[in-house]
Amino acid sequence: MTHQHGTHLAEHLELSLVIPVFNEAATIDLFIARIIDVFENEALIGLELVFVNDGSTDTTLELLLERQKSDSRIRIVDLSRNFGKEAALTAGLQSASGQVVVPIDVDLQDPPEVILQMIARWREGYEVVLGHRVSRNNDSWAKQVSANWFYRLHNKISDQPLPENVGDFRLMDRCVIDALQTLPESRRFMKGLFAWVGFRTTYVDYERPERVAGETKFNGWRLWNFALEGITSFSTEPLRIWTYLGLFVSLVSFSFAIFIVLRTLISGIDLPGYASLMVAVTFLGGLQLIGIGVLGEYLGRTYIESKRRPVFLVRRVYNAKD
């Protein structure tokens, strides 16, 4: 297996870590200390830390600027407001300059030590190395169940399946980053985009620990919307499902109408039931509203994409030499 950067283990490597942060002042020092500890003896790895400040309202930016004074490897992309993690991740990938790029969360649930294993697999010729969680024991029961159902549903109806128990934590070669930059959509479901571009892929297993500090920014409502984003971004199957469902309900209704006519001809006319009529009306009305909602999801996505607004706006980029 060959690789455009070579396979020799002694080859120098430029590595960029892309770290989206939003109100993470409690975790930054712990994260930077862990990164320094992992890479301080890796003389063949040139390191760049690209922090993307996604509109933090605490002291995250000030703390990063202070740490940058003593570490020239730190680069800070300060967005004009909070655009969300997918936009912050996009900004970081555009700003990263390394031969290989690794998105990683600052909460240390993705252990930096795993990156060294990823680099070893990259040197074997792989262009994407996924971080695969061997278990989700640190997640709540509800999150574990909902995640399993999301992957099953998404991979059932989507043309491009998502690898299960894999987040944004992965190593990507420069050719993969360049391919991602060519994708023009404004609403970006990054897990799906990562899978869509393809390239030669492998994975490394790791145990995911708990957060070292701070609190997660993803509540149940945001996770639900995130799941809808993923499903509608890479599949039109929900629209097709409602076509088949409408056809099925119409056939059932037509069959029932024939049954009523035949029964009337044979047994005479019965007094119609108000309750059964209301059930039928509300049931069909509910189906129609759900169908309109599914259409609305796709129409809203089309409307937003048609505006061609940028995914994010950068207020300022802080380099160590500034």
Specify the pLDDT at position 151.
64
pLDDT of residue 119 exceeding 80: yes
Residue 33 pLDDT greater than 80, yes or no: yes
Write down the pLDDT at residue 235: 63
Q: Containing domain of residue 19, as a range?
A: 13-219+310-318
More confident site: 153 or 205:
205
Answer whether residue 1 shows pLDDT above 50. Answer: no
**Three-class SS state of 75:** strand
- Looking at the structure, tell me whether residues 128 and 246 fall in a common domain: no
134, 148: one domain: yes
132-153: average pLDDT = 66
Domain identity same for 270 and 135:
no
Say which amino acid occupies 280.
A
- The rounded distance, in Å, linking the Cα atoms of 274 and 280 is 10
- Verify that 150 and 34 share a domain, yes or no: yes
- DSSP class per residue in 221-267: HHHHHHHHHHHHHS--HHHHHHHHHHHHHHHHHHHHHHHHHHHHHHH
Select the more confidently predicted residue: 85 or 143.
85
Please report whether residue 38 resides in a domain.
yes
Other beta carbons less than 10 A from residue 310's beta carbon: 11
Provide the pLDDT for residue 139: 61
In a domain, residue 164? The reply is: yes
Both 153 and 260 in a single domain? no
Residue at 157 is within a domain = yes
Domain membership of residue 151 (yes or no) is yes
Q: Are residues 203 and 293 in the same domain?
A: no
Same domain, 74 and 143: yes
Say yes or no: 23 and 150 in one domain: yes
- 78 lies in the same domain as 147: yes
Query: How far is CA 189 from each of CA 33, 143, 180, 195, 231, rounded to the nearest angstrom?
Result: 31, 19, 12, 10, 9
Same domain, 163 and 197: yes
Give φ, ψ of 55 to 5 degrees.
70, 35
Per-residue pLDDT, 54: 87
The pLDDT assigned to 185 comes to 79
Task: Tell which residue, 21, 25, 20, has the closest CA to residue 63.
Answer: 25
Q: What is the pLDDT of residue 37?
A: 87
Q: What is the largest CA-CA distance in the chain?
A: 93
Q: Over 151-170, what HEC string results?
A: HHHHHHHCCCCCCCCEEEEE
Q: What is the DSSP string of 98-166?
A: SSEEEE--TTSSS-THHHHHHHHHHHTT-SEEEEEES--TTS-HHHHHHHHHHHHHHHHH-SSPPPTTE
CB atoms within 10 A of CB 312: 24
Shared domain check, 23 and 81: yes
CATH number at 166 reads: 3.90.550.10
- Check whether residue 264 and residue 203 sit in a common domain: no
pTM over 0.85: no
Q: Count the domains in the chain.
A: 2
Residue 179 belongs to some domain of the structure: yes
Local structure of residue 9 (DSSP, 8 states): T
Q: Are 51 and 75 in contact (CB under 8 A)?
A: yes
- Which of the two residues, 235 and 105, has the higher pLDDT score? 105
Report the percentage of the chain scoring pLDDT > 90. 4
CB atoms within 10 A of CB 231: 19
Q: What are phi and psi of 97, to 5 degrees?
A: -115, 0
pLDDT digits (tens, 9 = 90+) for 42-81: 777 888 899 999 888 888 888 998 888 888 888 889 998 8
Is residue 143 predicted with pLDDT exceeding 60? yes
Whether 229 is in a domain gets the answer: no
- Other beta carbons less than 10 A from residue 85's beta carbon: 21
